[in-house]
Structure 1
Amino acid sequence: MDASEHTGTAGAGFSGAVGLVLARPARLLGIEPFFMEFIAGIEERLAERGLSLLLHVVADQEAEIAAYRRWAERGLVEAVVVVNRTVDDRRLPVLRELGLPAVLAGAGSDAPGGGAEAGGGGGTPMPAVRTDDAGPVREALAHLLDLGHRRIARVSGPAGLLHTRARTEALVQGCREAGVEPVVVEGDYSDESGAGLTAELLRRPEPPTAILYDNDVMAVAGLGAAKEMGVAVPERLSLIAWDDSTMCRLASPPLTTMSVDVHQYGVLVAESVLELVDGLPVAERWSPTARCVPRGSTARCAVPSTA
């Protein structure tokens, strides 16, 4: 996949296209399964109606906004899917200004139907497929606390993303209630950040006995870094990945994950898009909830608690 604009389903033509802009390094798309499964779910449902997906990969949010302006000017898409919502998201007011219909993928449970916060200044709420980012973090944390872990770290995605903020807040609050002080470091979803940040955490005077990662790529890289440093997993370090994938299941040991049906998430987003372009009321939908799937990378903590 490259950064060019193209239709994902042949034969529908531009007049029947739905747009998706991904503002992230193109190289990550080749190694991160999440968006491949998400896009497949969207395309599967759109194809049933003869619609196509116009995908564009760009470097940053400025380029994403420029793509929306270009699409609106040329009439290339009937609607867009907006992913990776950010704090003070500047894309949403632009979409309102352009009159470009949009479905928000990943509106949190605290965003009332898109609302003024989602719409960037009020007006008719943008339809959204909601996600619960806090609940799964609490479930993963409970799993680690039950295993006796008290030195807990989190390798997050970019801090400006709303779902990153929700997950971090859930972890900090849950740890506070348990009398634990977590360590949170910011990654970028890449294997380089997963490995590098894991190594930094393990070099601390009191290294964590458990680390939660915001995606599978960083978690697998973190596992590799721990092995290179001679830190046994799970005997000395427990690891949990967000997003299940083949790489998690084939890792040695297999990674405990927060598993979600990403393909079905894409299908649900496409359902909302179809209602939007048909001029129908868009039903409130929730992404499938992530569930903790324990595997070989988590075990009872062998380090005496100092909390």
Structure 2
Amino acid sequence: MTGTGAVGLVLARPARLLGVEPFFMEFIAGIEEILAERGMSLLLHVVPAQDAELAAYRRWAERRLVDAVAVVNLTAGDRRPARLRELGLPAVLVGTWEEDPAAPAVRTDDAGPVREALARLLELGHRRIARVSGPAELLHTRNRTAALEDGCRAAGLEPPVIVEGDYSAEAGERLTARLLGADRPPTAILYDNDVMAVAGLATAKELGFAVPERLSLIAWDDSTLCRLASPPLTTMSLDVHQYGVLVARSVLELVDGRPVAERSLPTARYVERGSTAPRAAGAEGTAGVAGAAGTTGA
């Protein structure tokens, strides 16, 4: 193999989140573990928005700084795959994609874990279920939202209240307070990452909602944060390190000019801990979520 010996990864997100959110650190560690076996490195660039990400790809292609890139956080109407093809920069798409990507992809099951979490909550008797989501433009956020709404409809519930966050602790605190301040607050909340869930747990305690006696919480992405919380958080656990490993293997096959194998990350699994319990006796549960049911912004 000849080339730069580097693989590119651009993260269009606030840089401050990288210091507190375990997901991308574990993901990057998985990529680097495989690249190191080949003496290759990862070129990481953090930018504020997708336009800056596209500009970074152009610079990398013009200067031949990387052999290939991994594209994360795919969005509706995503311009990146087409732009990368124009630039001649090989790419592996990471996660959900709505159409034929015309590029290798490492896929994820976004809906299955939501259905599993909802089924567990229904078994515990919960009927007023809310969710603190990630950014709505992300395809995996949309798939999770659709799965929750479809599942609630199939169970005969009114639509869940879904509030949009940005994966930060501040969003977890603010949105949890909003949900619990409703006339008829939920008895269970799903969070799209661990940081928002841990912050939501602290907010619930401050507002006098005992967890899990009065309120059940489920986080997405297991981490040390979830395991050390009090009570420890029930999670939809994803092997994020293995996710990075699979992406790196696909990237190396692409760089080598070999056929890139179809790869999918195993579905996140439900790990029960201390933040979920049967709905408290006497809590209303036959109706759906409060009259404000629907999706609201941050």
Q: Compute the TM-score of the two structures, normalised by the length of structure 1.
A: 0.91
Instruction: Name the structure 2 match of 1:70.
Output: 59
Q: Which residue of 2 aligns with 1:178?
A: 155
Separation of aligned partners in 1, 2:88 and 2:38: 23
Looking at structure 2, the residues matched to 276 and 90 of structure 1 have their Cα atoms a distance apart, in angstroms, of 21
Match of 2:285? 305
Partner residue of 1:236?
214
1:89 equivalenced with 2:67 (yes/no)? no
Match of 1:8 in 2: none
Task: Determine helix, strand or coil for the equivalent of 2:74.
Answer: coil
Q: How does 1:7-156 map to 2 (within 5 A)?
A: 15-108=4-97, 111=98, 115=100, 118=101, 125-156=102-133
Equivalents in 2 of 1:293, 1:159: separation in Å?
26
Deviation track 1:155-184 (CA, whole Å, cap 9, x = no partner) reads 000000000000000000000000112111
Aligned-partner residue type, residue 305 of structure 1: G
Aligned to 2:225: 247
How far is the alpha carbon of 1:191 from its aligned partner? 0.3
What whole-Å deviation, never above 9, does each CA across 1:205-236 have from its counterpart, x for those lacking one? Answer: 00000000000000000000001101100011
Q: CA deviation at 1:107?
A: 2.7
How many Å separate the matches in 2 of 1:219 and 1:21? Answer: 26
In structure 2, the residue matched to 1:261 is 239
Contiguous gaps of at least 5 residues in structure 2: 288-298
Q: Secondary structure at the match of 1:258?
A: strand
Aligned partner of 1:257: which letter? T
CA distance in 1, matches of 2:183, 2:60: 53
Please give the alpha-carbon distance, in whole angstroms, between the structure 2 residues aligned to 1:222 and 1:157: 14
Task: Specify the alignment match of 2:296 in structure 1.
Answer: none
- Tell me by how many angstroms 1:304 deviates: 3.1
Corresponding residue of 1:10: none
Structure 2 counterpart of 1:283, from 261, 264, 268:
261
Shift of 1:14: 7.9
Q: Distance in 1 between matches of 2:110 and 2:183?
A: 31
Match of 1:9 in 2: none
d(CA) in 1 for partners of 2:279, 2:17: 33
| 1:161 pairs with 2:150 | no
User: Aligned to 2:175, which of 179, 187, 197?
Assistant: 197
1:195 aligned partner, one-letter code: E
CA contact (8 A) 1:264 1:288 kept: no
Corresponding residue number in structure 2 for 1:225: 203
Deviations 1:123-149 (A, max 9, x none): xx1000000000000000000000000
Q: Percent identity?
A: 77
Q: Per the alignment, in what secondary structure is the counterpart of residue 305 of structure 1?
A: coil
Point out 4+ residue stretches in structure 1 off by more than 6 angstroms: none
Shift of 1:288: 2.5
Q: Distance in 2 between matches of 1:221 and 1:297?
A: 13
CA–CA separation in structure 1 for the residues paired with 2:135 and 2:117: 20
Specify the SS of the correspondent of 1:107: coil
Where 2:55 maps in the other structure, the secondary structure is helix
Bigger relative contact order (CA 8 A; separation at least 6): 2
Rounded to whole Å, the distance in 2 between the matches of 1:61 and 1:166 is 20
Structure 1, unpaired ranges of 5+ = 1-12, 119-124
Secondary structure of 1:15's match? coil
Q: TM-score, normalised by structure 2?
A: 0.93
C-alpha deviation, 1:305, in angstroms: 1.9
Q: Following TM superposition, by how much is the alpha carbon of 1:41 offset from its aligned partner in structure 2, in angstroms? A: 0.2
Please say if residues 255 and 296 of structure 1, whose CA atoms lie closer than 8 Å, have aligned partners that are also in contact. yes
